[in-house]
Amino acid sequence: MEIQNKFCEGSLDYRQKGHIDSRMEELAALYDVSEFCKDNNEKMEYSSQALYGQEIKKGVLLADWLFEWDSGSETMEMKQFFWRMVEQMWRESLDREDAEVISCSLGEQEGFAHDLKSYIKARRKILEGMTEPREYARMMPSCFGNSVFAEGIEEEMQNIEDFALHTKELTLNLSVLNDEALEIYGRCHKDGNLAMKELDSRLLACSPDYKHQSQLRFEFSYIDEEGDTHIKKVTCHPHLKLVKKNSDYRIYFAWRDDLVGDGKKVLVGRIGRHGW
């Protein structure tokens, strides 16, 4: 699955939200999106003619504003910031067949991603519509940045029957784990049982599996301070149920690990059958 991130050049028009000088916060939010795209080997795309021809103040085009290089200008920092963002973008956007498009804008606009939160939401929406387990697994890291997934996690995912029917539920469960699990765990004073009870009240079901802990050890990679990659086995016995409460389909996870994810991420060990 290819993602095409397209910038709406018209969102720069001063008649929409005021002149460019007053939009630094919006520009910073959009810059975060372009940084995210770069980190995932993607780019935000634009049409240079449409971009530089936008009227960003009354009677002033973006090209005129950007190339008016006055080191004493109060807007110099903003211009430099804008240039850094454009350097990360891809010039001359062309529609590509079979690509899923995420439209991005400067400032909030219905149907567009304007900051990291709305952009991640758009990526997860695409994830919900995927039909192939491997394709879904490849996109998970870019949708759930506060999670670390076990090596080869996609292998078991292929055993989920009618996978496409469950992607919306799967995305919801992974979203809650990614966005809230560590906060819940900390609020429960690192009491896993209390934290599981809260997740149980939020989702279909969450429970431990102490009986099979020895069979629920999964390999995770991490990078040490010297930049070397290591593999560590971590037990992931808490699990979320999928489809129904007595289902064999589950998401096994661990709240955190000091090495994998530096103690700041949830570890997802298996998505699929329980295995016994």
Each residue of 216-232: pLDDT tens digit? 999 999 999 999 999 99
Residue 125 lies in a domain: no
The tens digit of pLDDT for each residue in 79-116 reads: 888 998 988 888 766 677 789 999 999 999 999 999 99
Residue 108 lies in a domain: yes
Regions of the chain short of the pLDDT cut 50: none
Question: Is the same domain home to 143 and 240?
Answer: yes
On whether the pTM is more than 0.85, the answer is: yes
How far apart CA 72 and CA 2 sit, in angstroms, is: 43
pLDDT value at residue 88: 87
Residue 126 lies in a domain: no
pLDDT value at residue 74: 65
pLDDT value at residue 78: 86
Q: How many domains does the chain have?
A: 2
Residue 85 domain boundaries:
3-117
pLDDT value at residue 17: 87
DSSP-based three-state secondary structure for 124: helix
Mean pLDDT computed over every residue of the chain: 94
**How large a percentage of the chain has pLDDT more than 70?**
97
Question: Is the same domain home to 64 and 148?
Answer: no
Find residue 239's DSSP bridge partners: 207, 252
- In terms of phi and psi (left: phi > 0; alpha: psi -120 to 50; beta: otherwise), the region of 241 is beta
Question: Is the same domain home to 245 and 137?
Answer: yes
Residue 123 lies in a domain: no
Rg (CA), the chain: 22
Whether 64 and 70 have beta carbons less than 8 Å apart is answered as no
Residue 182 lies in a domain: yes
DSSP-based three-state secondary structure for 129: coil
Question: Is the same domain home to 142 and 89?
Answer: no
Q: Which of 117, 151, 178 is the last residue of a domain?
A: 117
How far apart CA 207 and CA 198 sit, in angstroms, is: 10
Residue 170 lies in a domain: yes
pLDDT value at residue 67: 85
Question: Is the same domain home to 95 and 151?
Answer: no
Question: Is the same domain home to 95 and 182?
Answer: no
Question: Is the same domain home to 67 and 146?
Answer: no
